Chains A and B, each alone.
Chain A
Amino acid sequence: MNRLLVILLVCVALPASAQDARKSGFAFMGPDTQAMQTDDLANPGMLSVLEGEALWNAKAGTSQKSCAACHGDAPQSMKGVATRYPAFDDTTQAPLDLAGRILQCRTERQGALAFQREGRELLALTSYVGHQSRNMTIAPSQDTRLAAARAQGAALYSTRVGQLNFSCAQCHDDNAGGHLGAAPIPQAHPTGYPLYRLEWQSLGSLQRRFRNCLSGMRAEPIPAGSADAIALELFLMDRAAGMKLETPAVRP
């Protein structure tokens, strides 16, 4: 009877402790940087969110429509959207990230010139949309058509690349919590993108973070918006399912 009880307890405790072991990059920062993120008037990412709000309400393109003209008030209509991206796009029959969706809306429905990936405007709009899901849990799309890309992302995550012959998993799974030089190695949960990195002195996307890591590994960086980048993003968002979004986060 006792043994049964122990087994039962272990069964109940395991999923909980497995969840507890996951930590956002927020937990690896110093108290000063954490305070900067939590205070909306000190968080430089909020400047981008404000700019995104202005863009949301600005008319653009041949349609002379703003995002708000179709989608209405972002705090209602965009609530929770960032928690389920990347999603499967029916028109291109491929997975699409949040920035890609905004670009698609802008070129096809607004009839405006595309924003540059990693450009100021696209980051501002993405952070504004992402901000509407702050403190919500990441709930990846359950679309079965995403499975192949997610598997591709998992493979990319654990494949050794570059002159240093490292995989993502070797740092972020095997040595998370340790240090690379003076910098703590986080667990690579994309909970706050687009985020403000103090090192970059600007807002940046998750895909910029990939390129940053890959060039550090002396590997060929994955181009922004490519199938590989979206696959890796899909895998990481799935790996962080159930964690809270912090957009816009601040990281050192």
Chain B
Amino acid sequence: MARALINVPQKAKRGEIIEIKTLMSHPMETGFRTGLDGQLVPRDIIEQFVCTYNGEVVFSAHLYPAITANPFLSFTTIAADSGTLVFSWTDNKGETQVQTASIQVE
């Protein structure tokens, strides 16, 4: 898979609601379209997105063929402790891409 843009605030106060934005570079090919040769273009989509915060799942989503290329997901969580956020995208071939971001909670 390819690259992703992640926006997590570097610092937050304990108990504060923080917004996390992720933008993943992905074609999200539906598998329903035909190519120039008239054959179906094989499906290539992200099926699952999971975000864990110090090991605990804070947000997850299932993605389907109708979702746009380069999906943008934005969600909120409560800043509990300093630590790492792990983002993982899994596609329909079972490949997973993982990126991490750290946050400091005061």
Complex Cα spacing A163 to B6, Å: 47
Please determine whether B68 and A47 come into contact, CB atoms closer than 8 angstroms: no
* B5 touches A (CB below 8 Å): yes
Q: How far is the CB of B45 from chain A (nearest CB, A)?
A: 13
* B72 touches A (CB below 8 Å): yes
Please determine whether A44 and B3 come into contact, CB atoms closer than 8 angstroms: no
Complex Cα spacing A46 to B21, Å: 14
Q: Which residues in B have their C-beta under 8 angstroms from that of A50?
A: 3, 5
Please determine whether B70 and A201 come into contact, CB atoms closer than 8 angstroms: yes
Chain A: which residue is nearest B21 at the CB level?
A: A41
A-B contacts counted at CB < 8 A amount to 33
Please determine whether A41 and B23 come into contact, CB atoms closer than 8 angstroms: yes
Contact size class for B? 10 to 19
8 Å CB contact of B5 from A46, A198, A201, A202? A46
Please determine whether B69 and A202 come into contact, CB atoms closer than 8 angstroms: yes
8 Å CB contact of B70 from A40, A41, A44? A44
Complex Cα spacing A44 to B70, Å: 7
Q: Which residues in B have their C-beta under 8 angstroms from that of A47?
A: 2-3, 5, 23, 25, 70
Complex Cα spacing A201 to B72, Å: 12
* A10 touches B (CB below 8 Å): no
Which residues of chain A from 37 to 56 have any CB-CB distance to chain B below 8 Å in the complex? 40-42, 44, 46-47, 50-51
Please determine whether A42 and B3 come into contact, CB atoms closer than 8 angstroms: no
* B60 touches A (CB below 8 Å): no
Complex Cα spacing A44 to B25, Å: 8
Please determine whether A42 and B70 come into contact, CB atoms closer than 8 angstroms: no
Q: A47-B3, A47-B5 are in contact. Are A42 and B21 (CB under 8 A)?
A: yes
- Map CB proximity to B onto A186-226 as digits: 1 under 8 Å, 0 otherwise: 00000000000010011000000000000000000000000
Chain A: which residue is nearest B4 at the CB level?
A: A47
Chain B: which residue is nearest A44 at the CB level?
A: B70
Chain B: which residue is nearest A54 at the CB level?
A: B3
Complex Cα spacing A60 to B2, Å: 20
* B7 touches A (CB below 8 Å): yes
Q: How far is the CB of B10 from chain A (nearest CB, A)?
A: 14
Chain A: which residue is nearest B22 at the CB level?
A: A41
Complex Cα spacing A42 to B21, Å: 8
Chain A: which residue is nearest B70 at the CB level?
A: A44
- Map CB proximity to B onto A18-58 as digits: 1 under 8 Å, 0 otherwise: 00000000000000000000001110101100110000000
Please determine whether A41 and B3 come into contact, CB atoms closer than 8 angstroms: no
Q: How far is the CB of A131 from chain B (nearest CB, A)?
A: 14
Q: Which of A40, A47, A50 has the most B CB atoms < 10 Å from its CB?
A: A47
Q: How far is the CB of A128 from chain B (nearest CB, A)?
A: 13
Chain B interface (Cβ < 8 Å from any Cβ of A)? 2-3, 5-7, 21, 23, 25, 28, 68-70, 72
Having A44-B70, A44-B72, A47-B5, one finds 5 other A-B pairs with CB under 8 Å, namely: A41-B23, A42-B21, A42-B23, A46-B5, A201-B69
Which 5 pairs from chain A and chain B are nearest by CB?
Answer: A201-B69, A47-B25, A41-B7, A44-B70, A41-B5
A/B interface sample: 24 pairs, CB < 8 A: A41-B5, A41-B6, A41-B7, A41-B23, A42-B21, A42-B23, A42-B72, A44-B25, A44-B69, A44-B70, A44-B72, A46-B5, A46-B23, A47-B2, A47-B3, A47-B23, A47-B25, A50-B3, A51-B2, A51-B25, A198-B68, A201-B28, A201-B68, A201-B70
